[in-house]
Structures are given as C-alpha cells and as structure tokens.
Structure 1
Amino acid sequence: MRRPLIIAIDGDRASRNRLRQELDRRYGSDYSVQAYESGADALADLAEAHIRGDRVALVLADQWLADMSGSELLARVRRQHPDARRALLVKWGAWGDRDTARAILSAMALGDINYYVLKPWTSPDELFHRTVTDFLHEWARSDLLTQREVVVVADRRSPRGHQIRSLLTRNGIPHAFHDRESAHGEAVLAHLG
C-alpha cells in the first residue's frame, strides 16, 4: 500500500524548501511529502493521485500563489479528495492583513478549508508541527484503512447507539461515532459488508 500524501504548495522558493524540509523530517517515514511551486502542478498530480486511488491526508497551500489563490485551489481539492485535511498557509502576523483574514474566514465558512497553518519560520517549528499533527490525527481517525479505534455506526437518535457510546466513554475506550445515514457511516458499513 502506498503511503498517504502530504502536499504543500508555496510560490516562494525559500518558504517551499523550509516547508518540505520540516514535513519530510517529521513525517517522511509515514507519508509521501510533495512540494509544488504552482497550484496547477499540484492539481495535476492530485488528479493523478485520485485516478490511482492514493489517499491524500493533508494539503497546505499559500493563499497568494501566482496562478490561483490558495483558497480556490483547496476548494478544488475538496471536490476531488473530500477526506483530505486542507489548510491555508499564512506568514506570522498575516491575520493583520485584511485580505488574508477575509480569505481565511470565507474559505472556512464555505468548508473549503479546515483551518490555517502558520508557515514554519524556525527549525524545528513546534507550533507548525502541532497544527500539522492535529490535522493528521483527524485525518487518520476518518480513514477506514488506518482506524485503530472502535467505530460505532448507528442512527443519531438510537437509544442503543447512545448506550454503547456511553459505555465506551465511561470505560475510557477511544471511539468514533458516525450517523448511519452519513456518507462516512455508509462507507464504514459498505467496507464491513
């Protein structure tokens, strides 16, 4: 099985190299890390990954790319790889820029991104890695091939479903819940037969 992908897109060479270095060093043994200068190149490779059936764990994109905005790119990624975590890369202090803040808030409201990530500015940058690790943890919990916890699929209003979740919680057993009618719940049931 191929390693899941982590994709980073940044038009600035120094920033892209630092991203690649940080991601490779920390996650390279478990994920295939790829970095791109342009959104078009990243989207072309992501389309090929979709055709191959590769799993995409995380896509990070700078908002101000030369060929398209990062939020536009991540909206397109969402359509092709809906389970991938998606985040805009921003420089320290970029929240003070009205256009950047507006882009982040708009993309979050539309569901095109999960959050934003501050670009690494030192090595190692533990704040950067904390955010990336949180994204990867969320993704792994939703990936059927990597789940290592109890998964409960039931009707959201089912008394039995609530009893089972309560029992697991009281006993400290990690678990995930998916509504039977949700896309993820249906995928779990289909996977199990």
Structure 2
Amino acid sequence: MSKPVILCVDDERIMLDCLRTQLFSSFGNTYLYEVAEDADEALELIEELTLENLSIAVVISDWLMPGMKGDELLISIHQKFPKIVKIMLTGQADEVAVNRAKKFANLHCCLCKPWSEAELLETIESALCKL
C-alpha cells in the first residue's frame, strides 16, 4: 500500500522548502511530501496523484497567491475530494476568506505566518486523526 500524501501550496519556494523540511523531520517516511507553487499546479498535481491511486491526506495552502486565492483552491479541492483535510497557512488572509473556507471547504484550521513548528505539527497531527 502506498503512503498518503501531504501537499503544500505556496507561491514562495522558501516556504515550501521550510514546510517540507519540518514535515519530514517530524513524520519521516510515513508520508509522501509534494509541493505546488500555485493553485493551478496544485489542482493538476492532485489529479495526477489521484490517477496514480495515491491518497492525499492533507493540503496545506497559503492564501495570498497569484491567480486563485487559497480559500478558492481549498473550496475547489473540497468539492471533488471532501475527505482531504484542508489547512490554510498565511500571513495575509482576511476574516471573510477564512470564514468562507470554513463554511465551503470544511477548513480544519488557519495558521498565521510566521508559524510555530510545534503548532503546525500539532495541527497536522490533529488533522490526520480525523482520517
């Protein structure tokens, strides 16, 4: 059986690298870690992973990205894949966007940048318990 995937979406490569390092440091080889630099790339990657019969456990998305915003991305993901746990990680999201993601994407949590590694890992662990 293949490992579940944790997908991180952010338009800043340094954030993606940091997330991947923190996740791998905590969870090791338990999960596959994928990254996307915008919403379109994330949606394409989800489709590819699904076609490969890989299960996406968690999507961690920034809010403020070029093109589609994070709340819109998470809503789009939720419409096709409601069991994926969605987390927003941002320094820019407004309350309306967060509430929209909670209502229409079943947002698990919204964390603010800069995040604490302990808070991020605790949030992901609580998200994974929902699966």
SS in 1 for 2:94: helix
SS in 1 for 2:72: helix
Indicate yes or no: 2:43 matched with 1:43: yes
**Could you tell me which of 112, 118, 125 is aligned with 2:112?**
118
Computed over aligned residues only, the root mean square deviation of the Cα atoms, in angstroms, reads 1.8
- Which consecutive residues of structure 1, in runs of 5 or more, have no partner in the other structure? 140-193
Matched pairs, number: 131
1:96-146, Cα deviation, whole Å (9 max, x unpaired):
xxx522110121122442221334646xx111111111111112xxxxxxx
Normalising by structure 2, what TM-score? 0.89
CA–CA distance in 2 between the matches of 1:120 and 1:136? 22
Normalising by structure 1, what TM-score? 0.62
- Which consecutive residues of structure 2, in runs of 5 or more, have no partner in the other structure? none
Q: What percentage of residue pairs aligned between the two structures are identical?
A: 24
Identify if the C-alpha distance between structure 1 residues 119 and 34 changes in structure 2 by more than 3 Å, giving closer, same or farther.
Answer: farther
Which of structure 1's runs of 4+ aligned residues deviate more than 6 A?
none
**Could you tell me which of 123, 127, 132 is aligned with 2:119?**
127
Larger radius of gyration: 1
Q: Give the aligned residue type for 1:113.
A: L
CA–CA distance in 2 between the matches of 1:119 and 1:137? 24
* Cα pair 1:88 1:117 within 8 Å, conserved: yes
The aligned counterpart of 1:157 is none
